[in-house]
Amino acid sequence: MTTPTILLYPTPMGSSLTKVLDVLGFDWKAVSDTSAAETLEPVTGWSGAIITIDGNPDEAFRIAQWLRSREDANAATLMLVSAEALPELADNTDHFDDFCLTPFHPAELEARLEHMIQRHVDEGNNAIITFGPLSLNIETYQAMVDGRALDLTYMEYELLRYLTAQPGKVFTREILLSEVWGYDYYGGARTVDVHIRRLRSKLGEEHANLIATVRSVGYRLGTADWRA
Amino acid sequence: MEPQEKYVLRTVEERGVRLVRLWFTDVLGQHKSVAISPAELEKVFEEGLQFDGSSIDGFSRVQESDVLARPDARTFELLPWARDDEPSALIFCNIERLDGSPFAGDPRQVLRRNLQKAHEAGFTFFVAPEIEFFYFTSDDPSNIIPLDTASYFDLTTADVASDLRMTTIHMLEGLSIPVEYSFHEDAPSQHEIDLQYTEALAMADSIMTFRLAVKKVAQERGVHATFMPKPLDGVQGSGMHTHMSLWRDGQNAFYDPDHEYGLSTIAQQFIAGTLRHAREITAVTNQLINSYKRLNDGLEAPRYVSWARNNQSTLVRVPVTKTNKPDATRIEYRSPDPACNPYLAFSLILAAGMKGIEEGYELQEETKINLFDRKEARNAGVDTLPRSLDEALVEMEGSELVREALGEHIFEWFLRNRRAEWADYSRSVTPFELDRYLRQW
């Protein structure tokens, strides 16, 4: 995993802020306005932002808003604010995840950042599972193949999610049944075959072979040498 | 909240579903639907949807008329025929009483109870129906014209009906109802679609969806599709031959490699059960007056209570399977027609077969004669299926097996309702009589 990069606004004056970031092992880049935020953004995207309101509240919120407005916005935003500027926050609660009063206590800022950014990074990385043309969004329960949304029942989705989590691994019908269906289901292991068939039919002819039958064992997503 | 309910709520939101259709079935197998908005769905998952059951045929008695529809989130599907700007979804419901117990007038609950009973004996019931139906140019009874005059396996590019059938199949696949085969049947504009086997409750749901999808696709092209068992004189009617097997511990319980036909003792007892009780359950597997016109016509439909391996004239057929395919070992019960209530029909066939297993019924000899030849059949002394709805109802009324499998509520309502229809029919003067008697007498 790449090191998370944090957007800072404005360029930090003291060293206490950057020291906290160093301790946490985060990279950071300072920006002066939204266009700089755009040009300096790392390929993997901003993992988070620390924006100080005092000084130029308008520009501060413009940047926060810009971070939120993007298609795949995934940056957690923390506002640094003095007690005097606190009322500014009340009008813009949609634009940040958390805030911290200045002057801050380094341990508090560290704890908040770690909690907030780590959570965002985790979600950002784990919400989407992909395999070849297949992608599953665990958070929204949506599955796509070649960018086409699949209309799945809950069990079909769960089965696909289970197989996609470990491509190349062979699962027996019994394992799939107990893991995906739970123990108290009518169908028995034969039910797994029925659902695999339905899934293949919904994946369409072109992609039906994404799910391979391993004769007298069970099923697997992709080919056996996928992990090699 | 159950994860499958969360899945449904989230999918409804992500896909912009505007209407959620809650589906259930009345005693005769007619489709019922209540549409709710997505905003109501979460509450309905939690509390159920209360409605007045007495408004639905056979549902409840006046004094306890309110019932709850409980959506079964596992059955959730997006409806492929909904318009893009108004996506909608379906969910099948179980009907409960206000105290949360299963409602006795709900056919889906009846099937669940019978499957549960088989499950307690270690069995899962798999079925695969072959559903026949006709396409006509309109639904006007005085003017029924078959959509085409093509015959068996006929496929031409100009065949509108084949096109209809293909569109239907694509729709079914999108609804998690995979199709095994489809083809043009013997009769003009008669078609058959065979569904791939699945567990009986899911299949009964699928048949309800199937009948709607077939009619829907036809209707969009200005064509009328019908599951009426025998719409035309002189040509075969529409059946719903049903293939079935019992599974235990992941194995096909009907298979025994040591038996000469590969049939286990369980399979033999199951067949014996369906044969012994066949006459009692026929009122349900063939519930219309018209159903008996199909059974009586001697064309493809079974008339005699017997079994054989490869004899199309018997009630139960044991298809010969390829060697080394134990999974495919199954029996085919050939009397049901596509106008039956699949929940109740499956309940009774299963109950009859399970009775054979419980009581260790002995299977009679395979029928080797051609039962389509009535004289031969009579000479062999083979029992017949009831010849009319009236006869079938008399058989049903005396059946403890049917009473127990259906439950008192549906058992009584069904007899009352079907008797009333028979009484109406008995008083009605038919075109047949006018043709024969008006001038002659």
Residue ranges making up the domain that contains A155: 128-227
Does B169 lie in the same domain as B23?
Answer: no
Q: Nearest C-alpha of chain B: how many angstroms from A100?
A: 33
- Residue B165 near residue B193, CB atoms below 8 Å: yes
Q: How many CB pairs under 8 A join A and B?
A: 71
Predicted local distance difference test score (pLDDT) of residue B151: 46
> What is the value of pTM for the model shown?
0.80
Number of separate domains in chain B: 2
B119 Cβ under 8 Å from any chain A Cβ: yes
CATH number at residue B21: 3.10.20.70
Q: Which of A141, A186, A189 sits opposite B7 (nearest CB)?
A: A141
Residue B253 to residues B49, B129, B266, B348, B357: CA-CA distances in angstroms?
40, 19, 7, 19, 12
Domain end marker among A62, A94, A126:
A126
Q: Which of B10, B201, B247 sits opposite A190 (nearest CB)?
A: B247
B81 Cβ under 8 Å from any chain A Cβ: no
CATH number at residue B253: 3.30.590.10
- Chain centroid offset of residue B266 CA: 24
Of A12, A19, A14, A22, nearest to A4 by C-alpha is A22
Query: Strand locations in B213-279, DSSP E?
Result: 224-226, 240-248, 251-252
B292 Cβ under 8 Å from any chain A Cβ: no
Compute the distance between CA of residue B378 and CA of residue B384 in angstroms, rounded to an integer. Answer: 9
Number of separate domains in chain A: 2
Does B339 lie in the same domain as B284?
Answer: yes
Secondary structure element (H or E) that encloses residue B191, with its range: strand B190-195
Residue ranges making up the domain that contains B396: 113-436
Does A111 lie in the same domain as A63?
Answer: yes
Whether A155 sits inside 8 A of B74 (CB atoms) is: yes
Compute the distance between CA of residue B228 and CA of residue A115 in angstroms, rounded to an integer. Answer: 65
Tens digits of residue pLDDT in A7-29: 999 887 767 888 888 888 888 88
Position A124 pLDDT exceeds 60: no
Whether B196 sits inside 8 A of A190 (CB atoms) is: no
Domain end marker among A96, A126, A156:
A126
Whether A189 sits inside 8 A of B250 (CB atoms) is: yes
Tens digits of pLDDT across chain B (441 residues): 788 999 999 999 999 999 999 999 999 999 999 999 999 999 999 999 999 888 777 776 656 688 999 999 999 999 988 777 789 999 999 999 999 999 999 999 999 999 999 999 999 999 999 999 999 888 888 878 888 764 444 444 446 777 888 899 989 988 989 888 888 777 778 899 999 999 999 999 999 999 999 999 999 888 899 999 999 998 999 999 999 999 998 889 999 989 888 899 999 999 999 999 999 999 999 999 999 999 988 777 888 899 998 777 789 999 888 766 788 899 999 999 999 999 999 999 999 999 999 999 999 888 877 766 767 777 667 889 999 999 999 999 999 999 999 999 999 999 999 999 999 999 999 999 999 999 999
Tens digits of residue pLDDT in A32-78: 898 888 888 887 778 889 999 988 889 999 998 888 887 666 678 88
Q: What is the DSSP string of B16-32?
A: T--EEEEEEE-TT--EE
Question: Looking at beta carbons, which residues of chain A come within 8 Å of B201?
Answer: 186
Residue B78: helix, strand or coil by DSSP? strand
Half-sphere exposure of B345 (CA within 13 A, CB side): 30
Q: What is the DSSP string of chain A?
A: -PPPEEEEES--SSSHHHHHHHHHT-EEEE-SSHHHHHHH--TT---EEEEE-SS-HHHHHHHHHHHHHSTT---EEEEEEETTTHHHHHTTGGG-SEEEEESPPHHHHHHHHHHHHHHHHHHHHHSEEEETTEEEETTTTEEEETTEEP---HHHHHHHHHHHHSTT--EEHHHHIIIII-S--TT-THHHHHHHHHHHHHH-TTTGGGEEEETTTEEEES-GGGG-
Does A216 lie in the same domain as A204?
Answer: yes
